[in-house]
Structure 1
Amino acid sequence: MTAFRFLYILALALTVFALFVLWVWTGPVGVMAAAMLTHGLLRLCERQGDAQAAEARKAREDDLARAFRR
């Protein structure tokens, strides 16, 4: 399991936790804070995934360039 998938699953678990538990414990303010933190974590996961995809794309481009130079 990649770190990206683990963080994504963690973010989804935090979302469910916020919806069902934090509402009871802290009311709407706590849910809003948890939602904002979860949103930030999801954006972080997306950026990480984008960075990994860009690295893989760059490696493929370099491999193709090397193959055609021969």
Structure 2
Amino acid sequence: MQPHGYSVGQSVELIVGRYDGNLPRGAYTVLRLLPNDGMDREYRVRNQRDGHERVVRESQLRPGPVSPFG
């Protein structure tokens, strides 16, 4: 299994796809690395604007701006 590409506390940007509904775009903070047997690793992230948490795949993320908390 490959290691996660992002680390806890890192700021990332969510890339919203056609079938992702109305997920808020923008900056998120990685809260937890989730175990995953598949090729696309998963993360628990928190939206930096509204505070909502969600689980996303690594393919939905790209490096974001430097976190204001770190």
Shared fold by TM > 0.5?
Answer: no
TM-score computed with the length of structure 2 as normaliser: 0.20
Highest CA radius of gyration, 1 or 2?
A: 1
More strand by share: 2
